[in-house]
Amino acid sequence: MVFIQPDHSPNGLPVVPLWIDGAAHEPSATNSFFPVTSSLQGRAIHNAVSATPSIATLACDAAAKAFSNWRKTAPSHRRALLLEAAGVIDVKAKEIAEWQVAETSCPEQFAVMNVKMGAVWMREIAAATSEIRGVVPQRSEGPDGTEMGGLNIVVREPIGVVLIIPPWNGAVVLPVRAISMALAAGCTIVVKASELCPRTHHLLIECFEEAGIPAGVINVIQAARSDAAAVTEAIVAHKAVRKVDFIGSAAVGSKIGQLCAKYLKPILMELGGKGPAIVLDDADLEKAARLCSMGAIVHHGQLCFSTERIIVHKAIYTPFTTLLTAIFSKIPSAGNAVHKAATDHAMVLLQEAQQKGAEVLTGGLEYLSETSLKPTLITGVTKDMRIADEETFGPSAAVYIAEDDEEAVRLANDSKYGLNAAVHSKSWEHAYEVARQLEYGQVHINNVTCTDSPGAPIQGVKGSGWGQSNSIWGIREFSVEKTVCFHPTGAGGFPSV
């Protein structure tokens, strides 16, 4: 899978193609191109072919054709190929990380870790492939009170062709997790790559195919933002597509969820968050301050798991905020946003909060560059401010004071989101009593909110989505249970009464 250089490429830049049935789909006069821009470099670094609905349909057709054979493969065969693909990603780790930095402007350290995490998640999913199992339920009671004859079995089968729409902010770990879960279940895939990092996403598919995944099992397209709605609907409407996996904002997730409802297609969604970190009165204050700071500024705050709200017990509010502001004030930069619009959105939320009475504890509303904001802490946030329950996707956090544990829980749960949270305490019993009351899919004790475990299910509640990812839980999302009933010889019709 390589760049192509057609004669009509604008600006003479190389082009990311569409990849269908194991080959580049050559652009034609009906295709448009769009530039992929690096905010860090301040220029377009390459172009990408924008799919049309008709080409998206071709990708679905290829996946449907490949499904007839891929679904018959043994779980052990799929496991071996996933392990091989993880090995290829290890070998290409430097190249993958470089493209992620080039396209998304994330810090190199973040990109390197993202690639390493991707391979870890793939290996955990591969290990769980053999856990795809059916059951033999008890037979029902007959008219005379005895067990009915025959045999019932429940088997798990792949759901079919899957549309995967991965994001740009976890440009490696999130797409390889979704792809691996679907492949492990026996599904084939159409990936709609992010228009912000199509080369990174294509390179991942290259790794899978180099490992031996047959042509057509994974197809990847991308679309300019203006073309995205029509292309997405063409895929969801395709009769062979049986499920969608979307990771992204709640606003876009709502639209895709409505589209899936229109065509009666199930969807797995991991959406936004407004992650709270609760600091209890018996916490290790220095450690908690360091972890809260890290959770707020990683990748310029552009993670749905980011620490956006820090809720502090009144008894330790002053010493903790002193430590927190000291740490924040020493952070020179949190990196760069993926584009200027993301930086501006985060700034607008901070400005509106300040205008309505929020106080800046440290940092200040300051651009370090067009795509970088100064790490900022604020307090005094009220419900009438957008920042109260809207993702900033920037390197900032709001600090709240709670009279007691009960109020801390209330403040944490006062959000339309429910993705990740954290609780800081030296007592695991105390932390657990608070954690069990939180309306979040994941709660981390004495760690950053932006963390995940490959061997445990991850899911959003409330406005953060539904369905589970990781390991066997994620594999099950892409399979369906079928009941097969073996009736006794001579049986038929309804039982006599």
Domain ranges within the chain, ordered by starting residue = 10-271+465-481, 275-445
Identify the band that residue 54 occupies on the pLDDT scale cut at 50, 70 and 90. Answer: very high
Residues 171-188, buried b or exposed e (16+ Cβ, 10 A)?
A: bbbbbbbbbbbbbbbbbb
Active-site residue among 304, 391, 450, 477? 304
Tens digits of per-residue pLDDT, 131-180? 999 999 988 777 777 877 889 999 999 999 999 999 999 999 999 999 99
Report the C-alpha gap between 303 and 37 in whole angstroms.
Answer: 20
pLDDT value at 361 more than 70: yes
Q: Residue 14: name the closest of 27, 22, 311, 343 by CA.
A: 27
pLDDT value at 1 more than 60: no
pLDDT value at 5 more than 80: no
In this structure, the number of other CB atoms found within 10 A of the CB of residue 155 comes to 14
pLDDT of residue 38: 93
Active site residue 270: yes
**CATH number of this structure's domain 10-271+465-481:** 3.40.605.10
Tens digits of per-residue pLDDT, 250-282? 999 999 999 999 999 999 999 999 999 999 999
Residues 6 or more apart whose CB falls under 8 angstroms from that of 122 comprise 82, 83, 85, 86, 89, 176, 177, 180
pLDDT of residue 25: 86
Average pLDDT, the chain: 94
Active-site residue among 103, 195, 206, 270? 270
pLDDT value at 30 more than 60: no
Active site residue 304: yes
Q: Which CATH class, in words, describes the domain spanning 275-445? A: alpha beta
